[in-house]
């Protein structure tokens, strides 16, 4: 049994060096059969110490090889998944923010715990994922938005997914969702990450501090959704020691609502139609305001806007005047859909 597995089984911490040794043996295929799956089963957010999970992330960062291209001034929005069930707010917000002039490089995954992750949605839309940093830069230059493929994630995750077959990675979705937003290599960006529960905040703060190539803004709310919600009490925690910002219907002027207003569609053949209605401002006031609020946050993070209410108004206008839908059509026309295997081991919305 590897030292990492033994430590997790005994409730002891696992440091960076031990994690690195585990990845070495995983890559060399010298672990005992079934050990990768057993280790993943031990990785519980409820029982594993935050420093162990943080050192896991640090160990993967340290193993990255090859050139990494920075995207200064670009923004990303990716949540931890889990929590309240909503349609894919972050992907809609990414398109709307790009329509406002923000440069957006979005990461995401196939669904681990929800019906459709961002890659599932993009596949249905026919929106391609980029396969390299150069492709990402080209999409960003052409459209102002790019959807980064699996290459930004540690290759060890792909190896892990193969080693645990026939078990699916989504079996371990809760921990993958929590760690996933902090794993990509996207230097120079600023990232908005929603947490599905305030209970994740201590871990998320540690993970954000372990990310040294970009600034991470953490968001929580009082209804358990991993995005900003227009009818909820939200807290945005910018990086670099900036003060927290409270956002709610009282200071935003947004409407009351419930999670039903943000529910995903259940029929697979309606996913694309519903998403296009959302980004066009035709899915109801609450859905429009929620997507616009997240897009406003991205525009502010990208320093395209400075005040929340005007940014919110601009985002709603970009939805209703067809700018966001027009951008989607342009991106869809630019390439083929991503491979069904891309992103299988990554995480986040």
Q: 235: which DSSP letter?
A: E
47-89 pLDDT tens trace: 999 999 999 999 999 999 888 999 999 999 999 988 899 999 9
CB of 266 closer than 8 Å to CB of 242: no
- Report the candidate in 341, 328, 283, 302 with the shortest Cα–Cα distance to residue 101: 302
What's the pTM?
Answer: 0.91
94-142 pLDDT tens trace: 999 999 999 999 997 655 445 667 888 999 999 999 999 999 999 999 9
Residue 349's pLDDT band, with cuts at 50, 70 and 90, is low
Question: Could you tell me the fold of the domain covering 74-152+177-333?
Answer: Pyrimidine Nucleoside Phosphorylase; Chain A, domain 2 (3.40.1030)
- Alpha-carbon distance of 133 to 116, in angstroms, equals 25
CATH of domain 3-63: 1.20.970.10
- Alpha-carbon distance of 155 to 184, in angstroms, equals 11
166-209 pLDDT tens trace: 999 888 988 998 999 999 999 988 999 999 999 999 999 999 99
CB of 20 closer than 8 Å to CB of 62: yes
Q: What's the number of CA atoms in the CB half-sphere (13 Å) around residue 171?
A: 15
Is 250 buried (19+), middle (13-18) or exposed (0-12) by CB count in 10 A?
exposed
- Alpha-carbon distance of 102 to 94, in angstroms, equals 9
Beta-carbon count within 10 A of 65 CB: 6
Q: 102: which DSSP letter?
A: -
Parse the chain into domains and list their residue ranges: 3-63, 74-152+177-333
């Amino acid at each position: 049994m590897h030292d990492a597995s033994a430590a997790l089984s005994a409730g002891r911490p696992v440091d960076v060096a031990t994690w690195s040794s585990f990845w070495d043996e995983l890559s060399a295929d010298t672990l005992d059969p079934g050990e990768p799956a057993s280790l993943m089963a031990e990785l519980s957010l409820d029982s594993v110490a935050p420093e162990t999970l943080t050192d896991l992330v640090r160990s993967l960062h340290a193993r990255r090889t090859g050139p990494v291209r920075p995207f200064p001034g670009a923004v990303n929005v990716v949540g931890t998944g889990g929590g309240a069930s909503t349609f894919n707010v972050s992907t809609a917000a990414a398109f709307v923010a790009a329509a406002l002039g923000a440069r957006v490089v979005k990461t995401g995954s196939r669904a681990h715990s929800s019906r459709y992750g961002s890659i599932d949605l993009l596949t249905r839309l026919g929106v391609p994922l980029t396969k390299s940093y150069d492709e990402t830069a080209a999409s960003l230059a052409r459209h102002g938005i790019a959807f980064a493929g699996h290459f930004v994630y540690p290759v060890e995750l792909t190896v892990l997914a193969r080693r645990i077959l026939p078990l699916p990675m989504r079996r371990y979705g809760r921990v993958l969702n929590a760690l996933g937003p902090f794993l990509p290599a996207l230097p120079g960006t600023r990232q908005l990450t929603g947490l599905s529960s305030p209970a994740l905040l201590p871990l998320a703060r540690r993970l954000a501090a372990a990310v040294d190539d970009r600034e991470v803004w953490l968001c929580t709310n009082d209804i358990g959704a991993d995005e900003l919600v227009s009818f909820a009490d939200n807290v945005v925690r910018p990086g670099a020691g900036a003060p927290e910002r409270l956002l709610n219907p009282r200071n935003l002027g947004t409407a009351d609502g419930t999670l039903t207003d943000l529910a995903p569609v259940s029929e697979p053949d309606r996913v694309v139609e519903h998403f296009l209605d959302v980004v066009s401002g035709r899915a109801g006031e609450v859905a429009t305001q929620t997507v616009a609020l997240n897009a406003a946050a991205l525009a502010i993070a990208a320093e395209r806007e400075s005040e929340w209410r005007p940014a919110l108004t601009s985002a709603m206008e970009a939805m209703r005047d067809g700018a966001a839908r027009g951008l989607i059509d342009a991106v869809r026309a630019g390439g083929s859909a991503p491979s069904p295997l891309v992103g299988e081991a990554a995480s986040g919305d």
